[in-house]
Structure 1
């Protein structure tokens, strides 16, 4: 096991923290990594019989080609759904080499994993040594997501490179001031039951979450200097918390867009939150997955995404 800067003796387990993955469809294996949501069936392991596998499947298949002792299992920090993208996710993996073989260096591990995933829209950004007690999921201090919304067109009116990486919510402009006022009401520690599913999927998960950030800001298209975006209005909705309920971010996004459209007032959104009732917002609607990005996962003493930004 790696402790601090000491290397493990041959044949021992080397725990490396592997940060992910490739960006989105319109960037080919670049230095800024995420996974492309449309290219995988979510992050978590899926049955091998499925036509499209999960990101974890591809990571573990690549790791097995390095011929470790036993199965190299990845423990991923954040479980994104199919169609959701990640600018920077993280995972940890224990890789044990055969006796007499030195541990992989971080650089070699990154290059080898990426080589074996070169046909996939997944890329490992970096790997760092972590203590034996480190767990990518449970040691995370916060997770930050942002959701890209655009108005002024429908799906087919979007520039082709924007499709499936933002949500064309409506053809009229949104009231950003009202949306931010409503977003401010979500900040803090609340029971977010109103933004979870009506079925029993969250029975054993506490709905009490602390939202550190909820922000609505005007944004821009991916390449405004190269493409005439006409009268399109882009918004980024950013949410930060230690953890979220399943599809909570996409449900909050849908509610905030309803505020921007004038279908809800900020006070009505607060009443929905306080109701703790998933049916309080009729239909319990969810924004599409394509506009959602996991931006970063933060840790206490080490930050695997440090130095990797959107610019």
Structure 2
């Protein structure tokens, strides 16, 4: 059990975030000194409180759309970690009004900040994301056979709201090249047990200002429908978006006839946000479009409680 309560650490995290926002807004040149931290950070940090050379508490601070969420322990998905002396912790908590009015006084903490930071190298993007049932990986040439079938399947295309004709090999091959680090980020869903490709999943339309993006998924192999593979793939990709890409919100849309997908999205933490009536014309008929969204703060609270 950590020596300091998580709600007290949250107050500290909220205060220090606010103070340094004031500081860097007034003195933006000093951002150069922490550029390495900003480069590796996803907005989430590990924090160890030290007193007399002994760590008295470890915490993970998740920066979300609704403020900081603090949990005890160090999350191995977090790349940037700090060790803060208890004396500094107490100084900030006792003198926050002073630092807010005179932010230049925060300069005295910069050397300690820089000397205490530890950057844990992230997983190579050439690898994959792992869930409980599936891995999400970069596509390769052998996947073209599956993609050609999945993306020229009339039923699957209707579920996705597509009305276009067939998709050729050249376009599919181009899509395969856009994996980690691209917009759109197209990944193959492959079963852990057996290594079989069963579908695709994407993040796209990244908006840096809003810290948002959209999600799409297609389980092309019908033998894997309704067995939790899509749910596992979505949760794995949401964890990547929220923990490593500093995304606050992921949205999607579906059509009124796709009730199976709707149930899956609800299990993954998405919530209904709106409905546009008869706004999609598909296969000669108008359908309602349903809008859903997932927030980082809600996802952490719902699925990562420990």
Structure-1-length-normalised TM-score: 0.28
Identify the structure with the greater strand proportion.
2
Q: Which has the larger radius of gyration?
A: 2
Higher relative contact order (CA 8 A, sep 6+): 1
